[in-house]
A and B are shown apart, each in its own frame.
Chain A
Amino acid sequence: DTGVSQDPRHKITKRGQNVTFRCDPISEHNRLYWYRQTLGQGPEFLTYFQNEAQLEKSRLLSDRFSAERPKGSFSTLEIQRTEQGDSAMYLCASSLFNTEAFFGQGTRLTVV
């Protein structure tokens, strides 16, 4: 296993379009986290899963955002009707319960 994998690495989309990102965690990790990072800021928590259950969602996660982890393995984050303010780096991380979190390389979203 080579670590947390995110796809795509970069996405440019027009305002109003829907986008979906994928995260493949480290295989034995049961927890998966999504964060968003804007320029010059630290990452901000969006949501996390333990196995397939979504246990917490930040109020940053508006109703245009939805995350799934249907089989407790990979996860997807979908943004509907994208806005320019959605432009950011979207980071995924995984961990085994509450131990050290390992991050992927992120998906950089640009909404034009």
Chain B
Amino acid sequence: KQEVTQIPAALSVPEGENLVLNCSFTDSAIYNLQWFRQDPGKGLTSLLLIQSSQREQTSGRLNASLDKSSGRSTLYIAASQPGDSATYLCAVPSGTSYDKVIFGPGTSLSVIP
């Protein structure tokens, strides 16, 4: 059974800092991994999708890496801004079903001006 954890649960940093969010999953036989952003009371916005054959993906100030063998992914945010404040969720397909996605509990990020 696929399980996803995220560390830390919450993070508060001053504006301008670089930061790393961590995601771990128990079943390494994944097809892809997706990082999402969620603002309070809102839906999910897809940030990055990494296919299993890829090691990393970049979009602007965001860089996501994937190490399938160790069951880990990291989301690196460079030069953080107050507008980055949100909850960040990682998600992987379930080990028992390619189509069902399992989410981590999220990391709540607060960037202080």
- Which of B46, B100, B102 lies in contact with A48, CB distance below 8 A? B100
- Which of A48, A91, A108 lies in contact with B99, CB distance below 8 A? A48
Min CB distance, A90 to chain B, in Å?
Answer: 10
Chain A residues with CB under 8 Å of B31's CB are 98
For residue A105, CB closer than 8 A to chain B, the reply is yes
Among A42, A106, A108, the most chain B Cβ lie within 10 Å of the Cβ of A42
CB distance B43 to A91 under 8 Å? Answer: yes
Taken residue by residue from 32 to 64, chain A's Cβ proximity to chain B (1 for < 8 Å, 0 otherwise) reads as 010100001111110010100001101000000
Query: Interface residue tally of chain B, by bracket?
Result: 20 to 34
Chain B residues with CB under 8 Å of A58's CB are 100
Given A42-B104, A43-B44, A98-B31, CB of A103 within 8 Å of CB of B36? yes
CB distance B97 to A106 under 8 Å? Answer: no
Min CB distance, A97 to chain B, in Å?
Answer: 9
For residue A104, CB closer than 8 A to chain B, the reply is yes
Chain A residues with CB under 8 Å of B45's CB are 103
Chain B residues with CB under 8 Å of A45's CB are 94, 100-102
CB distance B34 to A101 under 8 Å? Answer: yes
A91 CA to B31 CA, complexed, in Å: 22
Taken residue by residue from 75 to 113, chain B's Cβ proximity to chain A (1 for < 8 Å, 0 otherwise) reads as 000000000000001010110011111111110000000
A105 CA to B45 CA, complexed, in Å: 9
Taken residue by residue from 58 to 88, chain B's Cβ proximity to chain A (1 for < 8 Å, 0 otherwise) reads as 0000000000000000000000000000000
Residues of B in contact with A (beta carbons under 8 Å apart): 4, 31, 34, 36, 41-46, 49, 89, 91, 93-94, 97-106
Selected A-B contacts with CB under 8 Å, 8 pairs:
A4-B43, A33-B101, A35-B103, A42-B91, A42-B105, A45-B101, A103-B36, A106-B43
